[in-house]
Each structure stands twice: as structure tokens, then as C-alpha cells.
């Protein structure tokens, strides 16, 4: 694990920040996907569907009524080959009627598996309650489940979730503000005042002064033509513009679950002295069995026998001077030979002492 830490930190030291395309750093305001959701039925299951779910039975009756088949009120339909499901998908920006999207189907009742099932026509609605797509088709399920009569069970992946590639047909386009107004707004994926200014300067250098202006740490406003064809060509030229993003803030990221530690290249330490001592205490139980003499009438007893070992490692103290760099920090810590867990404790103690010039983030 310590080797991983060294690789990550020295990579940050030696690799300069490269220029990136504007399309990789930003998104255009208003050009976004929209989430769709619907409720439907999956049929054709090999007995792995619902058992006695009331809402699935109600949906089954409604489906039959749609085709002119009415069940008696006291009739109980067998729905073990059916399952109630939730369908969701993303409607991409500028998607037009007739285009197809992928959808994900998830069981919400007692169904054990959706393998082999077929989704019946389901309306997918947006946040405004309008229908934007219709989904239908055979499911692709990667999960597998098997259960024995004694209650033993084998489960591979998730058999109650499946996908239908190109299973949704777009029926309504989402209005977009892309072709309206006199400006385009670029939003940075990682807000930064310096990066926002550099993007604005790069655009003004390419197109002339006053074309772009930073609005805040996230948004850059750019004047754009109103004609749609010209705006598309205009945006094509801008999104391929190379801009050098600003260096990230001084941060130390600590993942306490995996033991991963990443230290940014701008992290500095104030004067501090660190000592790291390893105290190992091990307790070993060796119970002894005592047998009575033959015909003595005594009882067999177990006598506890505990052995305690204490080992103290001789560790040295090292001193960090003002402005200690990441390279020096890593070298000093590796000289001490601490494990990732101990390094986390050292970093937390340094932060509490105010000796770290940077942000310590523990996830």
C-alpha cells in the first residue's frame, strides 16, 4: 500500500498540468439529458414472478381490461409468470421522435428473477408528467439465482434487474434553449476562478476582446450568433479550443476504508516534529486440561494459561522545516516506515496541530 502512495504522489509532482479541450472541461448550459421513468409489467417469466402481490394483480387486471377481457371480482389470477417493474432511462439532449434509447427494468415486488421476461408497452414520463418515450421488448438479464428445497441459495449478480438496448422509442422532443438568446454559457465541471478566467481569455484571444466574460467560478458567458447553423459551427470551434486548467487546491485525500492516500503537489507543511512509536501487545491463550487420578472420583478441569508479550519498536523522531514539499514529506514518512493506517493518524494529528497548509479530506 505504501508503494501505491509513493507512485500517486510523485506522479503529481512530475507531471505538469496539460491543456485540455473546452468540451472536456465544460458543458453548455441548457444542453442536458432528462430522466424518464415509468411503471409496467414483465410477462413470460418461468414461474419466477410474483406470488400474491396486490398491485401486480391490479395491473394484470387493468391490462386484460384494456384488451376487453374482464375477470370476475372474486377471481384470483395466477401471476407467477408476471412481475411489476419500474422502467427508467435518460433522454439525451436534442433527441428527436423516432430515435431509440436504452432502458433499465427493475422488479419492485416479490419476483425472484426477470430472466426470460418481456416488457409490455410502457409509457415513460418526464418530471412534468408528459410522455416522452414508450418502452417495450425482451430483457437482457445478467444475473442468475437458484434456490434449493432446504433453503440454500446461489445468487450471481442481480437477477431482478435487466436492460433493453434500444428498447425505448422517443415520442416527444424536449424543447431546448440552445438556439435562443444572444449568448452561450459554458459551465465548468470543476469550478475554479482561475480556470474560468483562462477560458474567457482564450476565447477572447481567438475571437476578439469582449466576446467572453466570466460570470463566477463556474460559468463563462460567450456572445453567439442567433442563426442555428452558424451557432453550431461557432460552438464546434469553441469546444475544441485548448485551455490550460488551473492547478488544484492543496488537498490530501484519505480513504479510511481502503487505506488509499493521495497527496496533492501543492501541500506544504509548517515546522513540526513527529515521532512514531509502534507498541505491539499480543495475548495468547493456551488452556491446559487437568485429568484426575484413576478411581479418585475427581473431575476433569480446564486450567487457563495466558501468555502476554509486549514489543516496543524503537522509532525515531524527525523534524519538518518550513515549506516542506511533498517530495520531502513522502521521503521522511517512508524513512520512518509507517503503514497506511499510521500515516492517516499522522496526517490527522498534523492537521489538528495546524501544521498542514492544505485541506485534509477523509472519505
* HSE, side-chain direction, 13 A CA sphere, residue 215: 12
pLDDT at 72: 77
Note whether residue 2 is domain-resident.
Answer: no
Domain count, the chain: 3
Domain stops at, among 196, 211, 243: 243
Domain stops at, among 147, 170, 193: 170
Note whether residue 197 is domain-resident.
Answer: yes
Higher pLDDT, 251 or 333: 251
pLDDT at 12: 39
Confidence of residue 250 (pLDDT cuts 50, 70, 90): confident
Note whether residue 227 is domain-resident.
Answer: yes
Answer yes or no: is pLDDT of 34 > 90.
yes
Q: Which of 51-55, 187-191, 318-322 shows the lowest mean pLDDT across its residues?
A: 318-322
> Are residues 159 and 201 located together in one domain of the fold?
no
Q: Which of 148-162, 204-218, 252-266, 275-289 shows the lowest mean pLDDT across its residues?
A: 275-289
Note whether residue 10 is domain-resident.
Answer: no
Note whether residue 22 is domain-resident.
Answer: no
Note whether residue 330 is domain-resident.
Answer: yes
Q: What is the pLDDT of residues 331-356, one digit of tens each?
A: 666 666 666 677 777 777 777 777 77
Domain stops at, among 150, 170, 190: 170
CA angle 43–150–147, rounded 5-degree value: 30
Answer yes or no: is pLDDT of 296 > 70.
no
Note whether residue 21 is domain-resident.
Answer: no
Q: Say how far residue 54 (Cα) sits from the centre of its chain.
A: 35
CA distances from 246 to 20, 192, 195, 217 (A): 11, 7, 5, 12
> Are residues 159 and 43 located together in one domain of the fold?
yes
In which domain, by residue range, is 237 found? Answer: 179-243
Higher pLDDT, 144 or 61: 61
Note whether residue 210 is domain-resident.
Answer: yes
Amino acid at each position: 500500500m505504501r508503494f501505491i502512495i509513493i507512485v500517486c504522489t510523485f506522479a503529481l509532482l512530475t507531471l505538469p498540468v496539460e491543456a485540455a479541450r473546452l468540451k472536456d472541461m465544460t458543458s453548455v448550459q441548457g444542453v442536458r439529458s432528462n430522466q424518464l421513468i415509468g411503471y409496467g409489467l414483465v410477462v413470460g417469466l418461468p414461474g419466477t414472478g410474483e406470488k400474491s402481490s396486490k398491485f401486480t394483480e391490479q395491473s394484470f387486471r387493468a391490462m386484460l381490461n384494456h384488451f376487453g377481457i374482464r375477470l370476475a371480482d372474486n377471481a384470483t389470477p395466477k401471476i407467477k409468470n408476471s412481475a411489476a417493474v419500474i422502467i427508467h432511462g435518460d433522454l439525451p439532449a436534442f433527441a428527436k421522435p423516432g430515435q431509440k434509447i436504452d432502458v433499465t427494468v427493475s422488479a419492485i415486488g416479490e419476483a425472484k428473477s426477470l430472466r426470460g421476461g418481456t416488457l409490455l408497452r410502457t409509457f415513460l414520463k418526464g418530471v412534468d408528467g408528459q410522455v416522452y418515450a414508450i418502452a417495450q421488448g425482451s430483457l437482457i438479464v445478467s444475473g442468475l439465482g437458484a434456490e434449493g428445497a432446504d433453503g440454500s441459495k446461489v445468487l450471481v449478480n442481480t437477477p431482478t434487474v435487466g436492460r433493453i438496448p434500444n428498447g425505448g422509442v422517443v415520442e416527444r422532443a424536449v424543447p431546448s434553449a440552445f438556439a435562443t438568446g444572444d449568448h452561450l454559457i459554458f459551465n465548468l465541471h470543476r469550478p475554479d476562478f482561475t480556470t474560468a478566467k483562462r477560458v474567457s481569455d482564450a476565447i477572447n484571444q481567438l475571437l476578439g476582446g469582449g466576446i467572453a466574460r466570466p460570470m463566477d467560478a463556474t460559468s463563462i458567458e460567450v456572445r453567439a450568433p442567433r442563426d442555428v447553423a452558424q451557432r453550431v459551427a461557432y460552438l464546434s470551434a469553441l469546444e475544441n479550443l485548448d485551455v490550460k486548467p488551473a492547478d488544484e487546491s492543496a488537498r490530501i485525500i484519505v480513504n479510511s476504508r481502503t487505506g488509499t492516500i493521495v497527496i496533492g503537489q501543492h501541500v506544504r507543511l509548517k515546522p513540526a516534529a513527529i515521532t512514531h512509536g509502534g507498541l505491539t501487545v499480543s495475548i495468547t491463550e493456551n488452556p491446559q486440561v487437568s485429568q484426575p487420578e484413576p478411581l479418585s472420583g475427581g473431575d476433569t478441569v480446564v486450567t487457563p494459561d495466558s501468555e502476554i508479550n509486549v514489543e516496543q519498536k524503537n522509532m525515531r523522531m524527525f523534524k519538518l522545516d518550513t515549506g516542506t514539499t511533498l517530495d520531502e514529506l513522502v521521503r521522511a514518512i517512508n524513512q520512518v516506515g509507517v503503514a497506511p493506517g499510521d500515516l492517516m493518524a499522522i496526517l490527522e494529528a498534523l492537521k489538528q496541530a495546524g501544521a498542514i497548509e492544505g485541506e485534509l479530506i477523509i472519505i
